[in-house]
């Protein structure tokens, strides 16, 4: 944001900083243009490479400032799933760091039949990390590859930009298919490899949550 203000040659004083989403920021640009504060929104989008985003598949969610205790989070785990795996992971996340550093991010692979349960599981994991200072972002990104024809259009550049926007935070990649179902992705290998490359490039700074939410396992 500061770079953009400098580009616009505006005098400004930042009293506080609040995380915003890409969609909100783009909307603010359009409103500034409508009110005569900006002349050429397109030029700004080109300069800062803001044309990459596929609105159909990418969104960002703001994390609230509220701090949830470990006991309350563990209760949420019990309300969502019947196994102990999620609560065990929450216990680990809430463990304090010995030297003030949490090291390399942990990545997750979720294969959950019900989409609402999957969403709740993601919320618990991300919020637990956020409450314990494991994220430097107050938001996280979601890439939803529900439609294969849209997925086939994602390039490495696009995936890289999505991760860049969430560096130090979390990117969730959601699929309606079983992750092990190779036939669904056989025609999109190049793009899958490009996204996999991006995940690897950001693996030491950004948590990836890969999740399958298909209801039909047959």
Same domain, 108 and 153: yes
Q: Which domain holds residue 149?
A: 60-212
Contacts of 152 (CB under 8 A, 6+ apart): 187, 188, 191
Q: Give a yes or no: residue 217 inside a domain.
A: no
Same domain, 86 and 120: yes
Cβ atoms of 186 and 150 closer than 8 Å? no
Give the separation between CA 18 and CA 11, rounded to whole angstroms: 19
Per-residue model confidence (pLDDT) at position 9: 53
Cβ neighbours of 122 (radius 10 Å): 21
pLDDT tens-digit profile of 69-124?
A: 999 999 999 999 867 899 999 999 999 876 666 677 899 999 888 888 999 999 99
pLDDT tens-digit profile of 143-168?
A: 887 655 555 567 788 889 889 999 99
Average pLDDT of the chain? 80
Q: Give a yes or no: residue 18 inside a domain.
A: yes
Asked whether residue 13 carries a pLDDT value surpassing 60, the answer given is no
Asked whether residue 201 carries a pLDDT value surpassing 70, the answer given is yes
| SS3 state at 74 | helix
Give the domain-ending residue among 51, 68, 85: 51
pTM of the complete model beyond 0.85:
no
Same domain, 44 and 102: no
Backbone φ and ψ for 57, nearest 5 degrees, come out as -120, -15
Q: Look up the CATH number of the domain holding residue 191.
A: 3.40.50
Taken in order 205, 146, 218, 78, the sign of the CA dihedral is: positive
Beta-bridge partners for 143: 58, 173
Q: What is the tally of structural domains in the chain?
A: 2
Average pLDDT over residues 21-36: 80
| SS3 state at 146 | coil
Give the separation between CA 91 and CA 70, rounded to whole angstroms: 7
Instruction: Pull the structure tokens for residue 173.
Output: 């990649």
Q: Give a yes or no: residue 218 inside a domain.
A: no
Give the separation between CA 166 and CA 69, rounded to whole angstroms: 25
Confidence at 217, pLDDT banded by 50, 70, 90: very low
Same domain, 43 and 78: no
Same domain, 79 and 166: yes
Give the separation between CA 17 and CA 20, rounded to whole angstroms: 9
Question: Reading across the β-sheet that carries 170-175, which strands appear in turn?
Answer: 58-62, 139-144, 170-175, 207-212, 108-111
Same domain, 131 and 148: yes
Q: Give a yes or no: residue 126 inside a domain.
A: yes
The counts of H helices and E strands in the chain are 9, 5
The helix or strand, by DSSP H or E, that contains position 125, with its residue range, turns out to be helix 115-131
- According to DSSP, the β-strands at 139-144 and 58-62 are antiparallel
Same domain, 174 and 126: yes
């Amino acid at each position: 944001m500061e770079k953009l203000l400098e580009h616009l040659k505006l005098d400004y004083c930042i009293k506080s900083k609040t995380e915003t989403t890409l969609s909100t920021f783009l909307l603010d640009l359009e409103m500034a243009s409508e009110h005569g504060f900006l002349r050429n929104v397109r030029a700004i989008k080109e300069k800062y490479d803001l044309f990459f985003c596929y609105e159909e598949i990418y969104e960002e969610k703001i994390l609230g400032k509220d701090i949830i205790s470990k006991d309350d989070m563990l209760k949420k785990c019990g309300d969502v799933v019947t196994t102990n795996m999620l609560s065990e992971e929450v216990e680990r996340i809430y463990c304090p760091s010995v030297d003030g550093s949490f090291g390399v991010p942990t990545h997750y692979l979720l294969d959950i039949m019900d989409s609402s349960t999957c969403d709740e599981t993601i919320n618990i994991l991300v919020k637990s990390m956020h409450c314990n200072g494991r994220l430097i972002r107050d938001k996280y990104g979601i890439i939803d590859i529900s439609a294969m024809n849209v997925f086939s259009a994602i390039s490495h550049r696009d995936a890289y930009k999505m991760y860049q926007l969430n560096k130090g935070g979390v990117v969730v990649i959601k699929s309606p298919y079983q992750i092990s179902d190779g036939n669904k992705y056989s025609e999109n290998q190049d793009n899958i490899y490009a996204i996999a490359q991006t995940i690897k490039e950001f693996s030491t700074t950004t948590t990836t949550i890969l999740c399958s939410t298909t209801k039909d396992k047959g």
